[in-house]
A and B are shown apart, each in its own frame.
Chain A
Amino acid sequence: MTKLQSEKKSPSPSFDLNRDSDAADLFAALLDTADTGLIALAPDGTICHWNQWMQSRSGKDADQVMGKALQDVFPDTKLGRVSLAIEDCLKFGMPAVISPSLNQGALPLRPLPQFAASFDRMEQSIRVHPIKTKRNGTLCSLIIRDVTLAVQRDRLLRQQAAELADLVTQTKRSEGRTRAILQNTVDAILVASDDGSIEPLNARAQELCGPTGDPELRNIIRFLLPDSEHTPLTPPPPNRLLTDLGTGVIEVLASTLSGRNVPLEVAISHFSADQRYHYIITLRDISQRKRHEKEIQRTMQELERSNAELEQFAYAASHDLQEPLRMVSSYTQLLARRYEGQLDDTADEFIHYAVDGTQRMQRMIDDLLTLSRVGRHGKPFNPVPLDSLFDAIVTNFKRAGSAPEGNIIREGILPTVMGDASQLLLLFQNLVSNGLKYSDPTDGQVRIFASETPDSYRIFVADNGIGIDPQYHETIFEVFKRLHGYGDYAGTGIGLAICKKIVDRHGGSIDVTSEPGEGSTFCVELPKELPIVAAGESM
């Protein structure tokens, strides 16, 4: 100190550190500017300094605490570690670190307002220092730093780390699951990269492409991939491609070294990863499907052949029967014209029965011929506006005089459908005629209306006639099914069979809803898009 004094001889300082009172003022003021808590304890453990920071954070003024032990200042707080550290410091001169993690809120200090919501107390990092003095022995200082912000960040860090770890576990788990799914998929799955490499992804792919699989398969796949220009291509043997390329469906034949031929359907999709293009190739074993397809094809051919034979027979039979029948019919009619009233009554009656029989037979043969022609002589399908079609039907009935004026009622506009115009005319004429036939001749009515579904049109023909018992709703569409004796209603029992056959040929369906005495409603449903079979047959 003498050295300092000599250097600062003049001018005489207004503030002199050598004056005890000045020094004390300065140091106390300096300590009050500190952004940490400062407590000094006398050798007997009583407080001899308590800076401004401590006052504001503890809410206790210096003059309230001076000369008291810390425990007496905070009587409600268990100071355990802090007390021991102070004791060790004063007794043995040991310094101490008191960390926030092991001593949460060691002293009851208020957190700053921004932390008050999540912290009851300030989080503190405390240092306990021995201070050796010449005159007073060992004192003890406590330096308290507010580390609430650091604790808050640490909590956040832990939380995020835990969340991250959870995420990793979850990802691993789902990865494991995905792998299991891939491995256990019955389809073979491979991935091809734009460098030409093809890698089997699961067990089935390994089997097909592995050492006992088909050595040609990778080459076939490479051939099927778009723009694999990196590797020179050798076209696979033609018998290995089961479908024409370009049809959208690719089927190939794998011939494994274990001697099995496996037809495979190939699906190719792609994705980008690591700035490269990859293809996923799925190979599905379609042996089973191929077998079924073959089976169906054979059955179909069989069916077509027998149908054709049957139609041929029906046509031939009805055609050939017509000739002799016409002869019988002509001569019985001749007999009736010439000899009616000349023989006795019984003879007249017999001739009448003969004429009637031959006429009925004639109609049946005509209808049978019509029926067989539906399949054999169909015309190509064209748009048919049903409104004009029904105009024609009404005109036909008027001309025949078979129906009273105004008893064929159309409700709303009828759609235009695809079909064979003459067959559709026959179909609806039959249905209308049917409706009139089974109705009261004077006030019988047939209503025609239509509705639409996303895929089809429905055309309804409804009458107010005698109705049909539900038990016959299925069978009335079969050939020669009559529900009534011949004498009650005219008809051959073939009309609805013809209707059914026409609807079938148009890929549609026909059914009836009816209750006896309540009238009947026939519904013809025709598809908007022609099924391939029907269209193909019509070509």
Chain B
Amino acid sequence: MIELTELEHDTISELINIGVGRAASSLSEMVEQPVELTVPAISFVERFSDSELANAPTEVVSAVSQSFHGPFTGEAMLVFPEVRSLELVRSLLKVDVPLDTLTDLEQEALMEVGNIILNACLGSISNVLGEPINCSMPTFRKRETRALLDDDETEGSEGTNPVLMILHVQFMLRQNDIDGYVLFVMDLESIQMLRELVRRFLANSLE
């Protein structure tokens, strides 16, 4: 089990919040409308089936994922139920299309949104902790929730059960709020490394 002190948990939350805040301002500037992004909750689960997301196993979700390597390694994912992803993209693009799947261009737009958020989260962690992280280009996938993590290309998670850090993210746009998730899928070793780095950083900063 992942054991984090309250302060460690809080530190990770704050790093993520900083990243998400930056992402929100980038997005807001791009779409020329206010975009607020908050992270109401962060949780750690050892099995995907324990997550809130897995409550609707057959729901189709749109996901943008980027793998990352560095002191800790894994895959970061922005996940929305497909309907929400439509709402999100269309309210960002300010168009109303009566189509119930994403067009190719909308899919690419969602990929960019995911890229901005995931980069910001990873960048914030990397920047504050002073450890460089390499990221891959984002990829898009559309699946049923239960198959979300199947045959993913996350390196380092092979053979070991991944541990998930799940962020519940909430977009607050002009018209509506759209809820999604950011998943960090790592193996136990990586998450322990992350905790170690946080501890070291806290120790250094606070003497």
Contacts and interface: CB of A to CB of B under 8 A. Distances in A.
A touches B in complex, CB < 8 A: yes
Interface of A: 80-81, 84, 88, 92-103, 125, 127, 129-130, 147, 150-151, 154, 157-158, 161-162, 164-165
Contact of B105 (A96, A97, A99, A165): A99
B134 interface: yes
B126 interface: yes
A127 B104 CA distance: 16
Contacts of A157: 99, 103
Nearest to A98: B112
A96 B119 contact: yes
Contact of B104 (A92, A154, A164, A165): A154
B79 interface: no
Contacts of B127: 92
Given A88-B123, A94-B123, A95-B135, A150 B97 contact: no
A150 B132 contact: no
A164 B30 contact: no
A428 B30 CA distance: 99
Given A81-B30, A88-B119, A154-B103, A162 B97 contact: yes
Contacts of B106: 101
A84 B27 CA distance: 11
B111 A161 contact: no
A102 B98 contact: no
B15 interface: no
Give the residue among A92, A94, A147, A151 with the most B Cβ atoms within 10 A: A94
A94 B135 contact: yes
A93 B89 CA distance: 26
B26 A100 contact: no
B108 A94 contact: no
A151 B93 CA distance: 13
A95 B67 CA distance: 11
Nearest to A155: B105
Nearest to B116: A96
Contact of A99 (B112, B119, B132, B136): B112
B109 A94 contact: no
B163 interface: no
A125 B123 contact: no
Interface in B76-118: 89, 92-93, 95, 97-99, 103-106, 108-109, 111-113, 115-116
Given A93-B132, A161-B99, A162-B97, A99 B137 contact: no
B101 to A, nearest CB: 11
B45 interface: no
20 contacts: A81-B26, A81-B29, A84-B26, A92-B127, A92-B132, A93-B135, A94-B123, A95-B119, A95-B137, A96-B115, A96-B116, A97-B111, A100-B105, A101-B93, A102-B93, A103-B30, A154-B103, A157-B99, A161-B98, A162-B97
Contacts of B133: 92-93
A336 B31 CA distance: 128
Nearest to B108: A99
Contacts of A150: 104-105
B109 A92 contact: no
A102 B93 CA distance: 7
**Nearest 5 pairs between A and B by C-beta?**
A165-B98, A101-B109, A99-B112, A99-B108, A94-B119
A158 B95 contact: yes
Given A94-B135, A101-B106, 12 more contacts: A92-B132, A93-B134, A94-B119, A95-B115, A95-B135, A97-B138, A101-B89, A101-B108, A103-B112, A158-B95, A158-B103, A161-B97
B136 A95 contact: yes
Contacts of A95: 66, 115, 119, 135-138
Nearest to A81: B30
A97 B132 contact: no
Given A95-B136, A99-B109, A158 B97 contact: yes
A314 B92 CA distance: 100
A125 B105 CA distance: 9
B164 interface: no
Given A94-B122, A101-B93, A158-B95, A129 B137 contact: yes
Contacts of B103: 154, 157-158
Interface in B53-88: 66
Nearest to A166: B98
Contacts of A147: 105
A88 B89 CA distance: 23
A377 B120 CA distance: 114
A84 B133 CA distance: 18
A99 B134 contact: no
Contacts of B31: 102
B182 to A, nearest CB: 16
B150 to A, nearest CB: 23
Contacts of A165: 98
Contacts of A98: 112
A193 to B, nearest CB: 35
A97 B137 contact: yes
A97 B112 contact: yes
Nearest to B138: A97
Contacts of A100: 105, 108
A127 B112 CA distance: 10
B50 to A, nearest CB: 30
A168 to B, nearest CB: 9
A345 to B, nearest CB: 116
Contacts of B109: 99, 101-102
A151 B108 contact: no
A510 B134 CA distance: 110
A164 B97 CA distance: 11
Contact of A102 (B30, B66, B99): B30
Contacts of B113: 102
Nearest to B25: A84
A108 B89 CA distance: 24
Give the residue among B98, B112, B132, B134 with the most A Cβ atoms within 10 A: B112
A165 to B, nearest CB: 4
A69 to B, nearest CB: 20
Nearest to B98: A165
Give the residue among A154, A158, A162 with the most B Cβ atoms within 10 A: A158
B185 to A, nearest CB: 18
Contacts of B29: 80-81
A162 B96 CA distance: 9
B120 to A, nearest CB: 9
A103 B66 CA distance: 21
A92 B93 contact: no
Given A97-B112, A102-B30, A162-B98, A92 B105 contact: no
